[in-house]
Amino acid sequence: MDGRTENRASVAGTEVVMPHKGGPEVLRVGRRGPLAPTSGQAVVRVEAAGVSFAEVGMLKGNYPMQPKFPFVPGYDLAGIVEGVGEGVDREMVGRRVAALTEKGAWADRVALDASKLVTVPEGLDPADAVAVVTNGVTAWQMVHRAAKVRAGQTVLVHGASGGVGTLLVQFARLAGAEVIGTASAPKHEHVRALGAVPIDYKSEDVPMRVREISPGGVDAVFDNVGGPGLVDSWRMLRRGGTLVSYGSASTVNGTGHRFTPLIKIFARVLLWNAVPNGKRASFYYVQRWPKLFGEDLATVLSLLAEGKIDAHVTRRMPLEDAAAALGLLVSGKATGKVVLVPGARPSNADIRA
C-alpha cells in the first residue's frame, strides 16, 4: 500500500458498536466501509485500543457528555499511520502513534485529526503504549499538576490496583512520596510490588489504618470512589493536604441522572474549599487541550520507554471479544489494564503478569 498518497482510502474493516444501554452482551461486531483521510486527518491502523470504566459508564448511559446511541466506543488507541490527508506531513505514514479519541477506537482503522497524534517511542509495545494514554496522562496530571506531590510526602491512592491507580502509585513513588493504596485482599501482592502499603477496603477500617501508618494524616488523597467515603478521604488529609476526586465508582450502578453523583462531588468540593483549614479539594478531569495533553503524553511514553514505569497490561483480547473484555472490567476481577487487539485470533486471551 502506498500510504503516502494523500486521501488514499483504506480497506473495509471491522468495528464494535454500542447500540443501546445494557450489559456488555449488547455490543455488536460489524463491518464498515473504507476510510479516506480528509484534510488534516490521518488514517491509523489500530494495533491496540484501551478498555476503561468510561465504556462501562457509557454502556449504562450515564457517562457525562457521551455520544448518542448507537456509536463505536473506544477512548484511546495506539497504531500505525497508513495514510494522510491534505495538509498533513507525509512523513507520518508508517509511524506508530498514540491518541486520545474518547470514542471510535474499537475498530481496526480510524480516521483522526493528525494534530492529536503523538509519536510512540521506538521499541514500545503498542498495548503498553495505549495503556498509558488516558490512564497515564490522567495519573501524571493529578500527581504533578493537581496535587503537586513532592519527595517526603505520604499519599493515599484508592483503587491502587486499577488502570489509573497503578500509575498513580508509580508516579507518586517516582516523585519520592510514600504511598498507601486501597485494594481488595487478592490484589495486595500487586500493590506491594508497585511500592505501596496495601489496605483492604473491604475488611479493614481504612481511616484507622491510614492513621496508624501516617499518624498526622496524608498529604494527598486520590479518590475515584466518591459517595459517602469521600468525606473520609477529606478527613484523612493533614493540614496543607490535597484531595483529588476523579470519579464516582461507588455510584456506577446507580439509577439516577448521570450528573447527580458529580454534582454532589462539586458541591462538597466548593464547600470544603471555602473552609479556612489549609486543605484543598478538587474534582479532576484529564486536561485535553492538544498541546498540553500531547506534552504530557510524550513525557509519560518516554518514562515507559526508559523503563521507569510499567504499563501493567494484564489482559490482551481480540477486538471481536470486546463484550468479554468489558465484562471482565465490570466484574472487578481485572488488575491493571485490559487491551483490545484488532487482528488477534478470537481465542483464549493472552494474560501477562
Question: What DSSP assignment string belongs to 105-132?
Answer: -SBSEEEEEGGG-EEPPTT--HHHHHHT
Name every residue whose Cβ is closer than 8 Å to that of residue 192 and which is 6 or more positions away in sequence: 198
Strand order in the sheet with 197-200: 197-200, 178-183, 154-157, 218-223, 237-245, 280-283
Cβ atoms of residues 73 and 103 within 8 Å? yes
Lowest-confidence pick of 9-18, 282-291, 316-325: 282-291
pLDDT tens string 294-339: 999 999 999 999 999 999 998 999 999 999 999 998 887 777 789 9
CATH 3.90.180.10 assigned to domain 13-132+311-351? The reply is: yes
Split at pLDDT 50, 70, 90, the class of 52 is very high
CATH assignment, 134-283: 3.40.50.720
In the chain the first and final C-alpha atoms are separated, in Å, by: 37
Q: Please determine whether the domains at 13-132+311-351 and 134-283 fall in the same fold group of CATH.
A: no
Cβ atoms of residues 229 and 247 within 8 Å? no
Rg (CA), the chain: 20
pLDDT tens string 75-120: 999 999 999 999 999 999 999 999 999 999 999 999 999 999 999 9
Which has the closest alpha carbon to 143: 303, 306, 319? 303
Q: Average the pLDDT over 265-285 and give the result.
A: 88
Q: 10 Å Cβ neighbour count for 112?
A: 22
Cβ atoms of residues 184 and 190 within 8 Å? no
Instruction: Considering only residues 296 and 290, tell me which one the structure prediction assigns the higher pLDDT.
Output: 296
String of b and e for 210-227 (b: at least 16 CB within 10 Å)?
beeebeebbbbbbbbbbe
**For the whole model, what pTM was predicted?**
0.90
120 phi, psi to nearest 5 deg: -90, 130
Q: How far, in Å, CA of 120 to CA of 110, rounded?
A: 17
Domain residue ranges in the chain? 13-132+311-351, 134-283
Cβ atoms of residues 349 and 315 within 8 Å? yes
